[in-house]
Amino acid sequence: MEVGACFPAAAAPPTSAGAGAPQGDVESEPDDELWTLDDGEPKAIPAKNGEPSDADVNAGMAAKGEAAELHGEGKQEEAIAKMGEALTYNPSNAMYWGLRALYHLEFNKPRAALHDANKALEFNPQNVRALRVRGTVNRHLGHWEDSLKDLSAAQAIDYDENMNETLKYVQSRATQRHKRRLARQQAEEEATARRQEELRRQRQKEAEEAAAAAEAQAASDSMPGGFPGGFPGGMPGGMPGGMPPGMESVLQDPEIMAAMQDPEVAPKLTQMMQNPMAAMSMINDPKVGPVIQKMMSKMMGGGGMPGGMGDMGGMGGGMPGGFQGAGGMPPHGGAAGSASGSARGDDLD
């Protein structure tokens, strides 16, 4: 992209082929016409207090005229120096700053050109020459949005057909960068949403596990020594209310104590103690059944369970037939019944 497209009489500053985008401009695609700001800024022009005198204005105009003649003769460096002299007489003249910015640009000094263009636009934001100089420098720095803004503003003030090609190119590059930024922003937002969802699920899982553990602990805490309040309803024909004889030692059995910590087993055993008839439906449960059988065998090994349990209405002479799957419990009374119960208890221990 030749600077001559913007300024027909100007020669293009050399490009920094292969230099890549300026530092920090990671979104630009490769561009062989990118420049680097290797030149220094021009010597500072001291400011004047108040408006310049008529003599200063006239001296500045004379120096500016000499600079134009030198520029026409191709003496760029002398023309730049003479424009500096004009600015010392009238440092607030936007036209002088804009003209020297153009001379700097033509003399391969983009940093100095950018400096003078900025100064011109401080005094007159609509200085067309300064807008085009700054827009051109920014185009070659890969600052597409800044370039598009300045070049479009210059065209709106003073349309130049020679600027169309440059403006279209800058517009396309700015659009490409905008699309890349949107795509990257969308990807970052999606990644953030995924992380937040994973965190939400993890917290929900932890909350559910904590609730389950608390429920199991509450069930365990409600059974001091085993079951709450012993066997409800007592044992008709035996011990009314409270815990049957031998039950305390049964509940100290390590396997039964371990079962009481199982969140699946503990609630069912509690239900059985509150409703002994429920034991009949639990005897085939793969987890609860063996525990019930062991409890019954240990109690029967201690002399049987006279009269049945609570709401079962009593089982005269023991528990004939026993619980389903328990192998049967012979009628209470006699050594044979006790020995048989004791043998089954030994098998399950």
The pLDDT averaged over each successive group of 10 residues in the chain (349 residues) is 39 41 46 76 84 93 96 94 95 96 94 96 97 95 93 95 90 86 89 94 93 85 50 39 62 80 82 79 85 80 44 38 38 38 41
Give the span between the Cα atoms of 78 and 63, in whole angstroms. 11
Per-residue pLDDT, 323: 38
Give pTM, 2 decimals: 0.50
Domain 54-176 coded CATH 1.25.40.10: yes
Cβ–Cβ < 8 Å for 269, 259: yes
Per-residue pLDDT, 306: 40
Cβ contacts of residue 226 below 8 Å, gap of 6+? Answer: 243, 247, 248, 250, 251, 256, 260
Ramachandran angles phi, psi of 315, nearest 5° = -125, 95
Give the span between the Cα atoms of 234 and 246, in whole angstroms. 14
Cβ–Cβ < 8 Å for 173, 144: yes
Q: How far is CA 19 from CA 22, 27, 108, 125, 141, in A?
A: 8, 15, 16, 32, 11
Per-residue pLDDT, 309: 42
Write down the H helix ranges in 73-143. 76-89, 94-106, 110-123, 128-141
Per-residue pLDDT, 322: 38
Domain with CATH 1.25.40.10 in the chain: 54-176
Per-residue pLDDT, 30: 54
